[in-house]
Structures are given as C-alpha cells and as structure tokens.
Amino acid sequence: MKHLFKMLLIALLTTTLLGCIAQPQPKKPQRPAWMDNPRAVGDIVGLGQAGFHFNGKAAQRELATSRALDEIARQMGVTVSSIMVINQQHTSMGSSTNMAATSEQSVKGSVVNAVVHDEWLEGDTLYIIMVGR
C-alpha cells in the first residue's frame, strides 16, 4: 500500500512538472520594421521619440508627436525653430524641475498635414511615426 501511494505521488508530481514545462512562453512583441527604415511607410515621414516624461504619458506622447511633425516640416521646406529650456533646482527641502518648450514654424504657403501611422514603446521611450500627406 505504501509503495502504491509513493508511485501515485511520483506520477502526480511528474505530470505537474511536465505540465508546467509545456506551457508556451509569452512572446515579446517584435520591433516594427519602420524603426530601422521609416521610409518604408511613405515618402514624407517623421519619426519622433520621447523618453520618460515627468508630466506623464500624455506629455511624452505630445513631445514625440511634436518631434515627428518638426521632421516632416523640415522635409517639406518649412523653417522650424525649436527651443527647450529645462531648469532644475535642488535644495535641502527637495528638488523641482521646470520645462518650457517653444516650436516656431514658418510656412511659406504650405500646410503641414500629417497623420500618426504607428507607435512603439521600447522601455521608457515612446516612438511615433507620422506620415505627411
């Protein structure tokens, strides 16, 4: 009886371990091809990126979109001037960071019109590819 109980226990443990091994591992999403070749999605494209943003995901997305639009505008012959000022203060009571961004675009009869084609998040960095129309 003891021998039968041990054999049953070993069979149960073996089945459990084999069941765990056979579970498929979740696949990591593959990096999109446009990351290495943005022109594959269109003739006038802009690839914008933004790392972690202290104002959250919406500000990160806005920054990446702005950078993609700036790149499209440059390709269309639009003059783009961007300035970003970051001030940091550190005291014994704590620290604070302030950022001001300005983008000035001079368009000579042209309208910069683009749509978001795709987005990719790699670590903390957001990539947005936009296609000009």
Q: How confident is the model at residue 29, as a pLDDT? A: 78
Q: Select from 42, 47, 53, 50 the least CA-distant residue to 132.
A: 42
So what's the pLDDT on residue 45?
Answer: 93
Query: What sign has the CA pseudo-torsion 31, 36, 41, 44?
Result: positive
Q: Is the pLDDT of residue 3 over 90?
A: no
Q: Write down the residue that tokens 């990160």 correspond to.
A: 60
Which distant-in-sequence residues (6+ apart) come within 8 Å of 131 by Cβ? Answer: 41, 42, 44, 45, 114, 115, 117
Among 27-36, 38-47, 90-99, where is mean pLDDT lowest?
Answer: 90-99
Give the N- to C-terminal CA distance of the chain in Å, as an integer.
79
Note the pTM of the prediction, 2 decimals.
Answer: 0.60
Are 128 and 48 spatial neighbours (Cβ–Cβ below 8 Å)? yes
User: Is 133:72 a contact under the CB 8 Å cutoff?
Assistant: no
Tens of pLDDT along 41-86? 988 899 999 999 888 888 899 899 989 988 888 888 766 555 556 6
Task: Round to whole Å and give the CA distance between 53 and 61.
Answer: 9
